[in-house]
Amino acid sequence: MVEKDIENLLSLYPDEFFPKDGFKLKGQQINIAGRRADIIFTDKYGRTIVLEIKQGVLTRDAAGQITEYYGLLKQENSNQNIELILCANIIPHERRIFLENAGIECKELPLSLIKEIAVKNNYRFSDEDKEGTQLKKGFPRLSKPLKSTSNVWIFQSKPEKYDLLDNLRRENVKTFTIKQYKKEIRNGDIALMWKSGDRAGIYATAKIVSDPDSMLVLGPTAEQWVKIKITKNLIDKPILRDEIKNTEGLKNISILKQAQGTNFQVTESEWELIKKKLEEHP
């Protein structure tokens, strides 16, 4: 487990860690007040919530740096309602008091809680080998890999930004943005093309035919892309969100848990159920 795994789990499953706050993901690694914020959410009150993550025991130096950053954050965004939450595996009592006196909420994330949520959602830590075994001593196997050599992903498009249906009709879906899992998505993997909004669901399947780092970085946002080849066009008979939501074994699929991302991982068991549905959608 590395710090990025904690960041990913918090981004994907905020309700597991903050069940009463109604967090909605705005982004990860966003520049704000002169540094990259690990995660930014909005909460049910419309506030901007900045999460800073520290793996292991929170040190005195880190606590001081976080407090200084929070001061700059408030100063540079005085017209916005911004709050900061510090997350660490262990937060010593005196540092918690120091941070909370500065107005910073503290959230302790024990390793047992992180592993429990990872297991529940079939999340594979980045330091696991291909057999799902932790490479660092002391961590159990968490998830089974796909039996084939290909992983499966959901690629989500939002109609206001990209008209997936129109492009499918014109057979013009040839590339797709990668914002999450840039190190995991690979040439040969399978993509399920998902449209959000009205009648959300899977409208095509595709094969990924390039690695993300094989594409040029485009535009000021430094987005990466992969080439894809549509293998099955479902535009006339999509697998809709409600059908997926009402299928036992698919109720916890990642895109239903956190719909704000672009790229979502599909587990082996979920893929087996979706394959059966694809057979029913000629």
Q: Which has the closest alpha carbon to 226: 181, 278, 266?
A: 181
Q: What's the pLDDT score for residue 193?
A: 95
Place of tokens 């965004």: 77
CATH code of the domain containing 25: 3.40.1350.10
Domain count, the chain: 2
User: What does the alpha-carbon distance between residue 30 and residue 11 come to, in Å, rounded to a whole number?
Assistant: 13
Alpha helices (runs of H) in the chain, residue ranges in sequence order: 3-12, 14-17, 60-76, 93-101, 111-120, 164-169, 241-245, 254-257, 268-279
Residue 139 domain flag: no
Residue 278 and residue 205 in contact, taking contact as beta carbons nearer than 8 Å: yes
pLDDT tens digits along 47-90: 889 999 998 888 888 888 888 888 888 888 778 888 999 999 99
Burial of 175 (0-12, 13-18, 19+ CB in 10 A): middle
Q: What's the pLDDT score for residue 111?
A: 86
pLDDT tens digits along 151-160: 899 999 998 8
Q: What's the pLDDT score for residue 132?
A: 45
Place of tokens 């793996």: 55
- Residue 226's domain comprises 152-279
Q: Mean pLDDT in the chain? A: 83
Residue 128 domain flag: no
pLDDT tens digits along 23-52: 998 888 877 767 788 898 999 998 889 999
274 in the same domain as 158: yes
Residue 213 domain flag: yes
User: What does the alpha-carbon distance between residue 194 and residue 238 come to, in Å, rounded to a whole number?
Assistant: 9
173 in the same domain as 104: no
pTM here?
0.48
220 in the same domain as 173: yes
pLDDT tens digits along 203-214: 999 999 988 764
Question: Strand pairing partners for 54?
Answer: 88
